[in-house]
Structure 1
Protein backbone atom coordinates (compact mmCIF):
# COMPACT_ATOMS: atom_id res chain seq x y z
CA UNK A 1 0.00 0.00 0.00
CA UNK A 2 2.82 2.41 0.90
CA UNK A 3 4.64 1.67 -2.36
CA UNK A 4 1.49 2.45 -4.30
CA UNK A 5 0.88 5.70 -2.41
CA UNK A 6 4.54 6.72 -2.80
CA UNK A 7 4.17 6.42 -6.59
CA UNK A 8 7.91 6.33 -7.28
CA UNK A 9 8.25 3.30 -9.53
CA UNK A 10 9.40 4.28 -13.03
CA UNK A 11 10.36 7.85 -12.13
CA UNK A 12 13.80 9.40 -12.73
CA UNK A 13 16.01 11.17 -10.20
CA UNK A 14 19.13 13.32 -10.62
CA UNK A 15 21.45 13.34 -7.61
CA UNK A 16 24.39 15.73 -7.46
CA UNK A 17 26.88 14.42 -4.95
CA UNK A 18 25.13 11.04 -5.04
CA UNK A 19 28.14 8.79 -5.55
CA UNK A 20 29.37 8.17 -2.02
CA UNK A 21 28.44 8.43 1.65
CA UNK A 22 25.12 10.13 2.37
CA UNK A 23 24.57 10.73 -1.34
CA UNK A 24 25.03 7.07 -2.19
CA UNK A 25 22.53 6.09 0.51
CA UNK A 26 19.99 8.48 -1.03
CA UNK A 27 20.71 7.17 -4.54
CA UNK A 28 20.21 3.56 -3.51
CA UNK A 29 17.17 4.39 -1.39
CA UNK A 30 15.44 5.81 -4.46
CA UNK A 31 16.62 2.97 -6.71
CA UNK A 32 15.11 0.42 -4.32
CA UNK A 33 11.78 2.20 -4.80
CA UNK A 34 11.95 1.68 -8.57
CA UNK A 35 13.52 5.02 -9.55
CA UNK A 36 15.97 5.27 -12.46
CA UNK A 37 19.05 7.31 -11.64
CA UNK A 38 21.31 10.02 -13.04
CA UNK A 39 24.15 10.51 -10.57
CA UNK A 40 26.90 13.15 -10.49
CA UNK A 41 29.97 12.94 -8.28
CA UNK A 42 33.66 13.90 -8.28
CA UNK A 43 34.76 10.58 -6.74
CA UNK A 44 35.07 8.26 -9.74
CA UNK A 45 35.59 5.09 -7.70
CA UNK A 46 32.55 5.72 -5.50
CA UNK A 47 30.53 6.67 -8.57
CA UNK A 48 31.33 3.39 -10.31
CA UNK A 49 30.44 1.40 -7.19
CA UNK A 50 27.11 3.18 -6.80
CA UNK A 51 26.27 2.78 -10.50
CA UNK A 52 26.89 -0.97 -10.22
CA UNK A 53 24.69 -1.17 -7.11
CA UNK A 54 21.84 0.70 -8.84
CA UNK A 55 22.02 -1.56 -11.88
CA UNK A 56 22.09 -4.63 -9.62
CA UNK A 57 18.68 -3.44 -8.38
CA UNK A 58 17.42 -3.55 -11.96
CA UNK A 59 17.35 0.23 -12.49
CA UNK A 60 18.96 2.32 -15.21
CA UNK A 61 21.86 4.52 -14.13
CA UNK A 62 23.71 7.35 -15.85
CA UNK A 63 26.95 8.11 -13.99
CA UNK A 64 28.73 11.43 -14.60
CA UNK A 65 32.10 12.22 -13.02
CA UNK A 66 32.44 15.93 -12.34
CA UNK A 67 32.78 18.64 -9.71
CA UNK A 68 29.99 21.06 -8.80
CA UNK A 69 32.62 23.80 -8.73
CA UNK A 70 32.56 23.58 -12.53
CA UNK A 71 29.47 25.15 -14.09
CA UNK A 72 30.37 23.36 -17.34
CA UNK A 73 30.33 19.99 -15.55
CA UNK A 74 26.89 20.67 -14.08
CA UNK A 75 25.57 21.87 -17.45
CA UNK A 76 26.96 18.80 -19.24
CA UNK A 77 25.46 16.49 -16.62
CA UNK A 78 21.98 17.84 -17.22
CA UNK A 79 22.47 17.69 -20.98
CA UNK A 80 23.38 14.01 -20.72
CA UNK A 81 20.51 13.37 -18.32
CA UNK A 82 18.05 14.97 -20.73
CA UNK A 83 19.38 12.85 -23.59
CA UNK A 84 19.39 9.58 -21.62
CA UNK A 85 15.91 9.85 -20.08
CA UNK A 86 12.57 11.06 -21.38
CA UNK A 87 11.59 12.50 -18.00
CA UNK A 88 12.99 13.94 -14.77
CA UNK A 89 10.91 13.85 -11.61
CA UNK A 90 13.29 14.25 -8.67
CA UNK A 91 16.39 16.37 -8.05
CA UNK A 92 18.54 15.90 -4.95
CA UNK A 93 21.34 18.43 -4.38
CA UNK A 94 23.55 16.67 -1.85
CA UNK A 95 27.02 17.98 -2.73
CA UNK A 96 28.75 20.35 -0.37
CA UNK A 97 31.77 20.64 1.86
CA UNK A 98 34.20 22.89 3.67
CA UNK A 99 37.53 23.04 5.48
CA UNK A 100 37.51 24.60 8.94
CA UNK A 101 39.30 27.97 9.13
CA UNK A 102 39.18 31.27 10.97
CA UNK A 103 37.22 33.87 9.03
CA UNK A 104 40.07 36.41 8.98
CA UNK A 105 42.55 33.92 7.49
CA UNK A 106 40.31 33.04 4.54
CA UNK A 107 41.00 34.27 1.03
CA UNK A 108 38.64 35.58 -1.63
CA UNK A 109 39.27 32.41 -3.63
CA UNK A 110 38.41 30.15 -0.68
CA UNK A 111 35.26 32.15 0.03
CA UNK A 112 34.15 31.93 -3.60
CA UNK A 113 34.72 28.18 -3.58
CA UNK A 114 32.75 27.72 -0.35
CA UNK A 115 29.84 29.74 -1.76
CA UNK A 116 29.83 27.90 -5.10
CA UNK A 117 30.14 24.41 -3.55
CA UNK A 118 27.42 24.99 -0.98
CA UNK A 119 24.98 27.35 -2.66
CA UNK A 120 25.91 28.55 -6.13
CA UNK A 121 25.73 25.17 -7.84
CA UNK A 122 22.30 24.57 -6.27
CA UNK A 123 20.94 27.58 -8.13
CA UNK A 124 22.38 26.31 -11.41
CA UNK A 125 21.20 22.75 -10.79
CA UNK A 126 17.61 23.82 -10.18
CA UNK A 127 17.56 26.21 -13.14
CA UNK A 128 18.75 23.43 -15.47
CA UNK A 129 16.48 20.79 -13.95
CA UNK A 130 13.13 22.56 -14.22
CA UNK A 131 12.90 22.45 -18.05
CA UNK A 132 13.57 18.70 -17.91
CA UNK A 133 10.94 18.22 -15.21
CA UNK A 134 8.44 20.20 -17.29
CA UNK A 135 8.80 17.93 -20.30
CA UNK A 136 6.05 16.05 -18.48
CA UNK A 137 3.07 17.63 -16.76
CA UNK A 138 3.14 15.63 -13.52
CA UNK A 139 5.43 18.00 -11.62
CA UNK A 140 8.44 17.14 -9.54
CA UNK A 141 10.28 17.26 -6.23
CA UNK A 142 13.50 19.19 -5.56
CA UNK A 143 15.36 18.33 -2.37
CA UNK A 144 18.34 20.36 -1.15
CA UNK A 145 20.73 19.29 1.59
CA UNK A 146 22.00 21.90 4.02
CA UNK A 147 23.52 21.57 7.51
CA UNK A 148 22.71 22.48 11.08
CA UNK A 149 25.54 25.04 10.80
CA UNK A 150 23.17 27.07 8.60
CA UNK A 151 20.98 27.66 11.66
CA UNK A 152 23.51 28.50 14.37
CA UNK A 153 26.62 30.62 14.93
CA UNK A 154 29.13 28.21 13.46
CA UNK A 155 32.43 29.85 14.36
CA UNK A 156 35.35 28.86 12.06
CA UNK A 157 32.79 27.74 9.45
CA UNK A 158 31.33 31.20 8.84
CA UNK A 159 31.29 31.52 5.04
CA UNK A 160 30.19 27.90 4.66
CA UNK A 161 27.41 28.47 7.21
CA UNK A 162 26.31 31.60 5.39
CA UNK A 163 26.22 29.80 2.04
CA UNK A 164 24.22 26.94 3.51
CA UNK A 165 21.83 29.39 5.18
CA UNK A 166 21.15 30.96 1.80
CA UNK A 167 19.59 27.65 0.75
CA UNK A 168 16.87 28.15 3.36
CA UNK A 169 15.45 31.28 1.76
CA UNK A 170 16.00 29.90 -1.74
CA UNK A 171 13.91 26.90 -0.70
CA UNK A 172 11.10 29.08 0.64
CA UNK A 173 11.08 31.45 -2.34
CA UNK A 174 11.17 28.72 -4.98
CA UNK A 175 8.53 26.69 -3.18
CA UNK A 176 6.15 29.61 -3.69
CA UNK A 177 7.37 30.47 -7.19
CA UNK A 178 7.15 26.87 -8.42
CA UNK A 179 3.92 25.90 -6.65
CA UNK A 180 1.72 26.50 -9.71
CA UNK A 181 4.18 24.43 -11.73
CA UNK A 182 3.52 21.54 -9.32
CA UNK A 183 7.22 21.43 -8.41
CA UNK A 184 7.90 21.10 -4.71
CA UNK A 185 11.11 22.40 -3.07
CA UNK A 186 12.17 21.11 0.34
CA UNK A 187 15.30 20.82 2.43
CA UNK A 188 16.98 18.23 4.64
CA UNK A 189 19.29 19.30 7.47
CA UNK A 190 21.61 16.71 9.05
CA UNK A 191 24.00 17.27 11.92
CA UNK A 192 26.29 14.55 13.24
CA UNK A 193 25.74 11.84 10.60
CA UNK A 194 29.13 10.17 10.03
CA UNK A 195 30.60 10.97 6.60
CA UNK A 196 33.95 11.57 4.94
CA UNK A 197 32.92 15.18 4.36
CA UNK A 198 32.36 15.79 8.06
CA UNK A 199 35.69 14.16 8.94
CA UNK A 200 37.60 16.12 6.30
CA UNK A 201 36.08 19.42 7.42
CA UNK A 202 37.91 19.50 10.75
CA UNK A 203 41.30 21.02 11.41
CA UNK A 204 44.06 18.37 11.14
CA UNK A 205 44.85 18.58 14.85
CA UNK A 206 41.20 17.94 15.75
CA UNK A 207 41.05 15.02 13.33
CA UNK A 208 44.18 13.56 14.96
CA UNK A 209 42.62 13.80 18.42
CA UNK A 210 39.42 12.13 17.15
CA UNK A 211 41.44 9.30 15.61
CA UNK A 212 43.20 8.70 18.94
CA UNK A 213 39.99 8.79 20.99
CA UNK A 214 38.51 5.35 21.79
CA UNK A 215 35.19 4.76 19.98
CA UNK A 216 33.37 4.15 23.26
CA UNK A 217 34.39 7.62 24.50
CA UNK A 218 33.13 9.22 21.28
CA UNK A 219 29.85 7.34 21.68
CA UNK A 220 29.46 8.69 25.23
CA UNK A 221 30.18 12.22 24.03
CA UNK A 222 27.61 11.90 21.25
CA UNK A 223 25.07 10.56 23.75
CA UNK A 224 25.52 13.78 25.73
CA UNK A 225 25.01 15.97 22.69
CA UNK A 226 22.27 14.08 20.80
CA UNK A 227 18.95 13.78 22.68
CA UNK A 228 18.21 10.40 21.07
CA UNK A 229 21.65 9.23 22.12
CA UNK A 230 22.87 8.13 18.68
CA UNK A 231 23.61 9.94 15.44
CA UNK A 232 21.27 9.74 12.47
CA UNK A 233 22.64 7.34 9.85
CA UNK A 234 22.99 7.88 6.08
CA UNK A 235 20.02 5.52 5.68
CA UNK A 236 17.94 7.74 7.98
CA UNK A 237 18.65 10.63 5.64
CA UNK A 238 17.94 8.46 2.60
CA UNK A 239 14.54 7.52 4.02
CA UNK A 240 13.73 11.23 4.33
CA UNK A 241 14.77 11.76 0.70
CA UNK A 242 12.44 8.95 -0.38
CA UNK A 243 9.59 10.49 1.60
CA UNK A 244 10.09 13.99 0.15
CA UNK A 245 10.50 12.59 -3.37
CA UNK A 246 7.29 10.59 -3.15
CA UNK A 247 3.60 11.38 -3.33
CA UNK A 248 3.43 10.67 0.41
CA UNK A 249 4.59 14.29 0.78
CA UNK A 250 2.69 15.72 -2.18
CA UNK A 251 1.32 18.66 -0.16
CA UNK A 252 4.62 19.45 1.55
CA UNK A 253 6.70 22.23 0.03
CA UNK A 254 8.98 24.96 1.35
CA UNK A 255 9.86 23.07 4.53
CA UNK A 256 13.05 22.03 6.24
CA UNK A 257 13.31 18.62 7.94
CA UNK A 258 16.02 18.22 10.58
CA UNK A 259 17.29 14.63 10.61
CA UNK A 260 19.55 14.95 13.64
CA UNK A 261 18.24 12.95 16.60
CA UNK A 262 16.98 16.13 18.24
CA UNK A 263 20.06 18.35 18.30
CA UNK A 264 18.36 21.27 16.56
CA UNK A 265 15.47 21.03 18.98
CA UNK A 266 17.89 21.01 21.92
CA UNK A 267 19.58 24.20 20.66
CA UNK A 268 22.54 23.80 22.98
CA UNK A 269 20.90 21.97 25.88
CA UNK A 270 23.36 19.17 26.60
CA UNK A 271 23.05 16.23 28.99
CA UNK A 272 26.17 17.06 30.98
CA UNK A 273 27.64 14.26 33.13
CA UNK A 274 26.65 14.82 36.73
CA UNK A 275 24.43 17.77 35.93
CA UNK A 276 21.76 16.77 33.42
CA UNK A 277 20.33 19.00 30.71
CA UNK A 278 21.56 22.58 30.75
CA UNK A 279 23.09 25.00 28.22
CA UNK A 280 26.34 25.13 30.24
CA UNK A 281 27.96 22.73 32.71
CA UNK A 282 26.98 23.50 36.30
CA UNK A 283 27.49 21.98 39.73
CA UNK A 284 28.96 18.47 39.63
CA UNK A 285 29.45 18.75 35.88
CA UNK A 286 32.10 21.42 36.41
CA UNK A 287 33.90 19.20 38.93
CA UNK A 288 33.88 16.26 36.50
CA UNK A 289 35.06 18.35 33.56
CA UNK A 290 37.69 20.30 35.51
CA UNK A 291 38.96 18.04 38.31
CA UNK A 292 41.11 19.76 40.89
CA UNK A 293 39.55 23.18 40.39
Structure 2
Protein backbone atom coordinates (compact mmCIF):
# COMPACT_ATOMS: atom_id res chain seq x y z
CA UNK A 1 0.00 0.00 0.00
CA UNK A 2 2.74 2.42 0.96
CA UNK A 3 4.80 1.47 -2.11
CA UNK A 4 1.84 2.25 -4.35
CA UNK A 5 1.34 5.59 -2.61
CA UNK A 6 5.00 6.54 -3.08
CA UNK A 7 5.02 5.36 -6.69
CA UNK A 8 2.03 7.58 -7.41
CA UNK A 9 3.63 10.58 -5.73
CA UNK A 10 6.94 10.01 -7.49
CA UNK A 11 5.35 9.93 -10.94
CA UNK A 12 8.24 8.18 -12.66
CA UNK A 13 6.30 5.51 -14.55
CA UNK A 14 6.27 6.02 -18.32
CA UNK A 15 9.06 8.59 -18.38
CA UNK A 16 12.19 8.48 -20.54
CA UNK A 17 15.67 8.88 -19.07
CA UNK A 18 19.09 9.38 -20.61
CA UNK A 19 21.88 7.94 -18.46
CA UNK A 20 25.32 9.04 -19.64
CA UNK A 21 27.73 6.54 -18.15
CA UNK A 22 24.91 4.18 -17.24
CA UNK A 23 26.53 0.87 -18.12
CA UNK A 24 28.52 -0.29 -15.09
CA UNK A 25 29.08 0.43 -11.41
CA UNK A 26 27.14 3.40 -10.09
CA UNK A 27 25.68 4.06 -13.54
CA UNK A 28 24.34 0.51 -13.80
CA UNK A 29 22.71 0.81 -10.37
CA UNK A 30 21.04 4.04 -11.51
CA UNK A 31 19.84 2.58 -14.83
CA UNK A 32 18.44 -0.48 -13.06
CA UNK A 33 16.68 1.57 -10.38
CA UNK A 34 15.07 3.80 -13.00
CA UNK A 35 13.93 0.74 -14.96
CA UNK A 36 12.44 -0.76 -11.81
CA UNK A 37 10.53 2.51 -11.33
CA UNK A 38 8.97 2.18 -14.81
CA UNK A 39 11.32 4.46 -16.76
CA UNK A 40 12.44 3.71 -20.34
CA UNK A 41 16.14 4.24 -20.95
CA UNK A 42 18.73 5.53 -23.37
CA UNK A 43 22.10 4.39 -22.02
CA UNK A 44 25.47 5.64 -23.17
CA UNK A 45 28.70 4.04 -21.92
CA UNK A 46 32.29 3.38 -22.91
CA UNK A 47 32.05 -0.24 -21.66
CA UNK A 48 29.95 -1.98 -24.31
CA UNK A 49 29.72 -5.37 -22.59
CA UNK A 50 28.64 -3.96 -19.23
CA UNK A 51 26.17 -1.62 -20.92
CA UNK A 52 24.49 -4.47 -22.79
CA UNK A 53 24.22 -6.50 -19.59
CA UNK A 54 22.54 -3.55 -17.85
CA UNK A 55 20.28 -2.97 -20.83
CA UNK A 56 19.17 -6.60 -20.88
CA UNK A 57 18.31 -6.45 -17.18
CA UNK A 58 16.18 -3.37 -17.84
CA UNK A 59 14.46 -4.99 -20.81
CA UNK A 60 13.67 -7.99 -18.64
CA UNK A 61 11.70 -5.58 -16.48
CA UNK A 62 9.59 -4.63 -19.50
CA UNK A 63 11.38 -1.38 -20.30
CA UNK A 64 12.26 -0.04 -23.73
CA UNK A 65 16.02 0.49 -23.84
CA UNK A 66 18.32 1.94 -26.48
CA UNK A 67 22.09 1.87 -26.11
CA UNK A 68 25.04 3.74 -27.57
CA UNK A 69 28.62 2.58 -27.16
CA UNK A 70 30.50 5.86 -26.85
CA UNK A 71 32.98 7.88 -24.84
CA UNK A 72 30.96 10.80 -23.47
CA UNK A 73 34.02 13.05 -23.66
CA UNK A 74 34.07 12.70 -27.47
CA UNK A 75 31.86 15.52 -28.75
CA UNK A 76 30.90 13.75 -31.97
CA UNK A 77 30.10 10.51 -30.13
CA UNK A 78 27.93 12.32 -27.57
CA UNK A 79 26.06 14.12 -30.37
CA UNK A 80 25.48 10.77 -32.09
CA UNK A 81 24.03 9.40 -28.84
CA UNK A 82 21.57 12.27 -28.57
CA UNK A 83 20.66 11.95 -32.26
CA UNK A 84 19.87 8.28 -31.63
CA UNK A 85 17.88 9.14 -28.49
CA UNK A 86 15.81 11.73 -30.38
CA UNK A 87 15.11 9.24 -33.17
CA UNK A 88 14.14 6.37 -30.86
CA UNK A 89 12.10 8.26 -28.25
CA UNK A 90 11.37 11.73 -29.63
CA UNK A 91 11.42 13.23 -26.14
CA UNK A 92 13.19 13.17 -22.80
CA UNK A 93 12.10 13.62 -19.17
CA UNK A 94 15.22 12.80 -17.15
CA UNK A 95 18.94 13.20 -17.77
CA UNK A 96 21.57 11.71 -15.46
CA UNK A 97 25.20 12.66 -16.15
CA UNK A 98 27.19 9.98 -14.32
CA UNK A 99 30.38 9.73 -16.38
CA UNK A 100 33.53 11.22 -14.89
CA UNK A 101 36.72 10.32 -13.11
CA UNK A 102 40.39 11.11 -12.70
CA UNK A 103 43.67 9.79 -11.36
CA UNK A 104 45.51 11.05 -8.32
CA UNK A 105 48.51 13.15 -9.41
CA UNK A 106 50.39 16.25 -8.31
CA UNK A 107 49.28 19.22 -10.42
CA UNK A 108 52.81 20.24 -11.38
CA UNK A 109 53.46 16.73 -12.69
CA UNK A 110 50.35 16.66 -14.88
CA UNK A 111 50.67 17.05 -18.63
CA UNK A 112 48.50 19.56 -20.47
CA UNK A 113 46.74 16.65 -22.16
CA UNK A 114 45.89 15.09 -18.78
CA UNK A 115 44.61 18.44 -17.50
CA UNK A 116 42.43 18.93 -20.58
CA UNK A 117 41.09 15.39 -20.20
CA UNK A 118 40.17 16.01 -16.54
CA UNK A 119 38.27 19.17 -17.49
CA UNK A 120 36.41 17.55 -20.38
CA UNK A 121 35.58 14.36 -18.47
CA UNK A 122 34.23 16.15 -15.41
CA UNK A 123 32.76 19.38 -16.78
CA UNK A 124 33.00 19.86 -20.54
CA UNK A 125 30.82 16.94 -21.61
CA UNK A 126 28.20 17.89 -18.99
CA UNK A 127 27.70 21.27 -20.67
CA UNK A 128 27.25 19.59 -24.06
CA UNK A 129 24.94 16.94 -22.59
CA UNK A 130 22.68 19.51 -20.96
CA UNK A 131 22.58 21.63 -24.12
CA UNK A 132 21.48 18.61 -26.18
CA UNK A 133 19.00 17.36 -23.57
CA UNK A 134 17.07 20.57 -22.90
CA UNK A 135 15.37 20.82 -26.34
CA UNK A 136 14.17 17.21 -25.94
CA UNK A 137 12.86 17.91 -22.44
CA UNK A 138 11.05 21.02 -23.69
CA UNK A 139 9.00 18.98 -26.15
CA UNK A 140 6.57 17.76 -23.49
CA UNK A 141 6.00 21.20 -21.98
CA UNK A 142 5.90 19.54 -18.55
CA UNK A 143 9.50 20.19 -17.52
CA UNK A 144 11.96 17.57 -16.41
CA UNK A 145 14.91 16.73 -14.19
CA UNK A 146 18.64 16.86 -14.88
CA UNK A 147 20.96 15.26 -12.33
CA UNK A 148 24.73 15.58 -12.68
CA UNK A 149 27.32 13.83 -10.56
CA UNK A 150 29.85 16.06 -8.88
CA UNK A 151 31.94 15.12 -5.83
CA UNK A 152 32.84 16.10 -2.29
CA UNK A 153 36.17 17.24 -3.76
CA UNK A 154 34.32 20.17 -5.35
CA UNK A 155 33.71 21.45 -1.82
CA UNK A 156 37.16 21.09 -0.24
CA UNK A 157 40.84 21.47 -1.06
CA UNK A 158 41.55 18.08 -2.62
CA UNK A 159 45.35 17.85 -2.89
CA UNK A 160 46.33 15.49 -5.68
CA UNK A 161 42.99 16.00 -7.43
CA UNK A 162 43.17 19.75 -8.11
CA UNK A 163 41.94 19.90 -11.72
CA UNK A 164 39.31 17.24 -11.08
CA UNK A 165 38.09 19.19 -8.04
CA UNK A 166 37.99 22.41 -10.03
CA UNK A 167 36.12 20.79 -12.92
CA UNK A 168 33.55 19.24 -10.59
CA UNK A 169 33.12 22.62 -8.86
CA UNK A 170 32.41 24.08 -12.29
CA UNK A 171 29.76 21.41 -12.87
CA UNK A 172 28.23 22.24 -9.49
CA UNK A 173 27.94 25.96 -10.20
CA UNK A 174 26.89 25.43 -13.82
CA UNK A 175 24.04 23.31 -12.47
CA UNK A 176 23.08 26.04 -10.01
CA UNK A 177 23.10 28.71 -12.72
CA UNK A 178 21.09 26.61 -15.18
CA UNK A 179 18.51 25.83 -12.50
CA UNK A 180 17.83 29.56 -12.31
CA UNK A 181 17.87 30.00 -16.09
CA UNK A 182 15.40 27.16 -16.76
CA UNK A 183 13.32 27.41 -13.60
CA UNK A 184 10.19 28.87 -15.18
CA UNK A 185 10.15 25.98 -17.67
CA UNK A 186 9.96 23.54 -14.73
CA UNK A 187 13.28 22.03 -15.77
CA UNK A 188 15.11 21.24 -12.55
CA UNK A 189 18.86 20.76 -12.29
CA UNK A 190 20.60 19.29 -9.26
CA UNK A 191 23.86 17.58 -8.35
CA UNK A 192 24.75 14.52 -6.33
CA UNK A 193 28.08 14.70 -4.53
CA UNK A 194 29.36 11.30 -3.42
CA UNK A 195 32.55 10.76 -1.51
CA UNK A 196 34.28 7.40 -1.39
CA UNK A 197 32.27 4.48 -2.78
CA UNK A 198 33.19 0.84 -3.50
CA UNK A 199 33.18 1.45 -7.26
CA UNK A 200 35.61 0.66 -10.07
CA UNK A 201 36.05 4.37 -10.78
CA UNK A 202 37.23 5.15 -7.26
CA UNK A 203 39.68 2.26 -7.29
CA UNK A 204 41.03 3.26 -10.73
CA UNK A 205 41.56 6.83 -9.50
CA UNK A 206 44.40 5.75 -7.22
CA UNK A 207 47.92 4.81 -8.34
CA UNK A 208 48.29 1.01 -8.69
CA UNK A 209 50.68 0.75 -5.75
CA UNK A 210 47.98 2.09 -3.40
CA UNK A 211 45.46 -0.50 -4.50
CA UNK A 212 48.02 -3.27 -4.32
CA UNK A 213 49.04 -2.27 -0.79
CA UNK A 214 45.39 -2.14 0.27
CA UNK A 215 44.72 -5.60 -1.10
CA UNK A 216 47.59 -6.99 0.96
CA UNK A 217 45.90 -5.92 4.20
CA UNK A 218 44.03 -8.55 6.21
CA UNK A 219 40.30 -8.55 5.40
CA UNK A 220 39.46 -7.67 9.00
CA UNK A 221 41.56 -4.49 8.76
CA UNK A 222 40.32 -3.14 5.40
CA UNK A 223 37.05 -1.58 6.71
CA UNK A 224 38.75 0.19 9.62
CA UNK A 225 39.87 3.23 7.64
CA UNK A 226 36.32 3.84 6.45
CA UNK A 227 34.99 3.35 9.98
CA UNK A 228 37.31 6.17 11.09
CA UNK A 229 36.58 8.46 8.14
CA UNK A 230 32.83 8.06 7.52
CA UNK A 231 30.53 8.99 10.43
CA UNK A 232 28.11 6.25 9.42
CA UNK A 233 31.04 3.84 9.48
CA UNK A 234 30.67 2.37 5.99
CA UNK A 235 30.78 3.44 2.35
CA UNK A 236 27.49 4.19 0.59
CA UNK A 237 26.87 1.43 -1.98
CA UNK A 238 25.93 2.30 -5.58
CA UNK A 239 22.28 1.59 -4.72
CA UNK A 240 22.29 4.46 -2.21
CA UNK A 241 23.35 6.85 -4.97
CA UNK A 242 20.67 5.39 -7.24
CA UNK A 243 18.07 6.11 -4.54
CA UNK A 244 19.18 9.75 -4.52
CA UNK A 245 18.77 9.92 -8.30
CA UNK A 246 15.27 8.46 -8.04
CA UNK A 247 14.33 11.15 -5.56
CA UNK A 248 15.76 14.06 -7.56
CA UNK A 249 14.31 12.72 -10.82
CA UNK A 250 10.84 12.25 -9.36
CA UNK A 251 7.93 14.53 -8.57
CA UNK A 252 8.78 14.09 -4.89
CA UNK A 253 11.54 16.64 -5.59
CA UNK A 254 9.47 18.88 -7.88
CA UNK A 255 10.50 22.01 -5.96
CA UNK A 256 14.12 20.95 -5.43
CA UNK A 257 16.39 22.70 -7.93
CA UNK A 258 19.87 24.18 -7.99
CA UNK A 259 21.12 22.20 -5.03
CA UNK A 260 23.68 19.51 -4.28
CA UNK A 261 22.71 16.38 -2.39
CA UNK A 262 25.61 14.87 -0.47
CA UNK A 263 25.31 11.09 -0.35
CA UNK A 264 28.42 10.32 1.68
CA UNK A 265 27.50 8.84 5.05
CA UNK A 266 28.25 12.19 6.71
CA UNK A 267 31.80 12.99 5.55
CA UNK A 268 30.83 16.45 4.25
CA UNK A 269 29.20 17.24 7.57
CA UNK A 270 32.24 15.97 9.48
CA UNK A 271 34.53 18.33 7.53
CA UNK A 272 37.76 16.72 8.69
CA UNK A 273 36.67 15.25 12.01
CA UNK A 274 37.78 11.61 12.11
CA UNK A 275 36.81 8.94 14.60
CA UNK A 276 40.37 8.18 15.74
CA UNK A 277 40.92 4.86 17.51
CA UNK A 278 42.31 4.14 20.97
CA UNK A 279 39.84 6.38 22.79
CA UNK A 280 40.45 9.63 20.90
CA UNK A 281 36.99 9.80 19.25
CA UNK A 282 35.89 12.43 16.71
CA UNK A 283 38.54 15.16 16.49
CA UNK A 284 40.39 16.70 13.50
CA UNK A 285 43.80 15.40 14.58
CA UNK A 286 44.79 12.29 16.55
CA UNK A 287 45.20 12.73 20.28
CA UNK A 288 47.40 10.91 22.77
CA UNK A 289 45.76 7.50 22.41
CA UNK A 290 46.36 7.22 18.67
CA UNK A 291 49.67 9.11 18.66
CA UNK A 292 51.09 6.84 21.32
CA UNK A 293 50.28 3.78 19.21
CA UNK A 294 51.64 5.38 16.03
CA UNK A 295 54.83 6.81 17.55
CA UNK A 296 55.40 4.68 20.62
CA UNK A 297 59.13 4.58 19.93
CA UNK A 298 59.33 8.35 19.78
CA UNK A 299 60.40 8.55 16.15
CA UNK A 300 57.51 6.97 14.21
Under a length normalisation based on structure 2, what TM-score does the superposition of the two structures give? 0.96
Within the candidate set 40, 53, 60, 1:56 is matched to: 60
Give the SS at the match of 2:158.
Answer: coil
Report the alpha carbon displacement of residue 290 of structure 1 after superposing the two structures with TM.
Answer: 2.4
Q: Report the equivalent of 1:119.
A: 123
Q: How does 1:153-192 map to 2 (within 5 A)?
A: 153-192=157-196
Deviations 1:185-235 (Å, cap 9, x if unpaired)?
000011111110100110121111111122321211111111011111100
Q: How does 1:144-223 map to 2 (within 5 A)?
A: 144-223=148-227
2:73 is equivalent to residue 69 of structure 1 = yes
Within the candidate set 260, 270, 277, 2:274 is matched to: 270
Q: Report the equivalent of 2:294.
A: 289
CA contact (8 A) 1:273 1:288 kept: no
Q: How does 1:16-55 map to 2 (within 5 A)?
A: 16-55=20-59
Q: Report the equivalent of 2:97.
A: 93
For 1:16 and 1:56, locate their aligned partners in 2 and report how far apart those are by CA, in whole Å.
Answer: 21
What are the ranges of 5 or more consecutive residues in structure 1 without an aligned counterpart?
none
2:144 is equivalent to residue 140 of structure 1 = yes
CA contact (8 A) 1:35 1:59 kept: yes
Give the SS at the match of 1:258.
Answer: strand
Report the alpha carbon displacement of residue 174 of structure 1 after superposing the two structures with TM.
Answer: 0.5
Report the alpha carbon displacement of residue 171 of structure 1 after superposing the two structures with TM.
Answer: 1.2
Q: CA RMSD in A?
A: 0.8
Query: Number of matched residues?
Result: 293
Structure 1: 4+ residue segments shifted above 6 A: none
For 1:229 and 1:153, locate their aligned partners in 2 and report how far apart those are by CA, in whole Å.
Answer: 23
Q: Report the equivalent of 1:225.
A: 229
Q: Report the equivalent of 2:285.
A: 280
Report the alpha carbon displacement of residue 291 of structure 1 after superposing the two structures with TM.
Answer: 2.7
Give the SS at the match of 2:80.
Answer: helix
Report the alpha carbon displacement of residue 255 of structure 1 after superposing the two structures with TM.
Answer: 0.7
Give the SS at the match of 2:233.
Answer: coil
Under a length normalisation based on structure 1, what TM-score does the superposition of the two structures give? 0.99
For 1:208 and 1:233, locate their aligned partners in 2 and report how far apart those are by CA, in whole Å.
Answer: 22
